[in-house]
Amino acid sequence: MIKRKSSREIDKMREAGRIAAEARNLARDLVQVGATTKSIDKAIKNYILSQDAKPAFLGYKDYPASSCISINDEVIHGIPAARRLISGDIVSIDIGVKKRGYIGDCAATFVAGEPSEDAKRLIEVTRECFYEALKKAKPGNRVSDISRAVQQHAEKNGYSVVRDYTGHGVGSEMHEPPEVPNFVEIPRKKADPRLMSGMTLAIEPMINEGVAGIYVKDDNWTVVTKDGKNSAHYENTILITEEEPEILTACEDMP
Ligand code: MF3
Ligand code: CO
């Protein structure tokens, strides 16, 4: 069952979302050569706590940190660690915030030091995939319209979409129905729900420079590309409305 949120619930999600987006901006500024991913995670956690909110990832299925920080061939769910960033590292940061019982979930990819042209393009196309999908996020369309928009934009640019992980509904739980895949399955194997106002979704393209295939490392969290090529991630929590969709994980000067 897909929950449609009341305006009271949406107010709370907007607040959680704003805090998550602000934490993402703070993290962006800390992606610097020499910084450890642990120190970035710590700053994210402190910021969230300072807003009287909770890091939604911490303890989720025993996840040990407040953010996921995934470098280069790491797609998602990288665990913050003592590794120091070096120039050219592609750093995807995913943040979840719980405030007054509701969640905001967002991510973006940044580069430490000097970005390569390839890295800039991968990151920009991944971000564009989200905005192409957002155009389809309206009542009457289906989840697959979002999925198709991401896939077409990524593949048109020579990239592939990760198929083993998806976007998702989000609300009082971090993962609610429906799944929001970044690709369309033909023939369709699963239900393809119609979008309705009041639905809140995390749309999160995970885009690989090389093959779509991934595997999970021995730490049981870190998802890496099979071919070792780079990957980027961009995510916002959004609200479907009768008019334009609203980005709930929004703040000034967001990536
Ligand atoms: N943002 C991630 C998602 O949408 C959640 C990270 S999993 C966690 O699936 F364990 F780190 F919380
Ligand atoms: Co998510």
pLDDT in tens, 83-95: 999 999 999 999 9
β 206-208/160-161 pair status: antiparallel
C-beta neighbour count of 69 within 10 angstroms: 27
| pLDDT, average across residues 149-159 | 98
Identify the three-state secondary structure at position 190: coil
Pocket test residue of 60, 70, 203, 238 for ligand 1, highest count of atoms within 8 A of CB: 60
CA of 66 to the centre of ligand 1 (A): 10
Q: 38-54 burial string, b = 16+ CB within 10 Å, else e? A: bbbbbbbbebbeebebb
Cβ of residue 78 lying under 6 Å from some atom of ligand 1: no
Atom of ligand 1 nearest to the CA of 168: 4
CA 189 to chain centre: 24
Q: What is the pLDDT of residue 132?
A: 98
Lowest mean pLDDT among 140-144, 185-189, 202-206: 185-189
Helix-strand-coil percent breakdown of the chain, rounded to 5?
30, 25, 45
| pLDDT, average across residues 166-187 | 97
Nearest protein CA to atom 11 of ligand 1, as residue: 57
Ion ligand 2 neighbours, Cβ < 5 Å? 105, 202
Q: What is the pLDDT of residue 226?
A: 98
Preceding amide of 80 cis, omega within 30: no
Nearest protein CA to atom 5 of ligand 1, as residue: 57
Ligand found nearest the CA of 236: 2
Q: What is the pLDDT of residue 15?
A: 98
For residue 250, which of 18, 42, 6, 12 has the smallest C-alpha distance? Answer: 18
Write the single-letter amino acid at 199.
M
Write the single-letter amino acid at 179.
E
Q: What is the pLDDT of residue 3?
A: 97
**Which residues 6+ apart lie within 8 Å of 125 measured at CB?**
153, 154, 157, 159, 207, 232
Nearest protein CA to atom 8 of ligand 1, as residue: 57
Nearest protein CA to atom 2 of ligand 1, as residue: 94
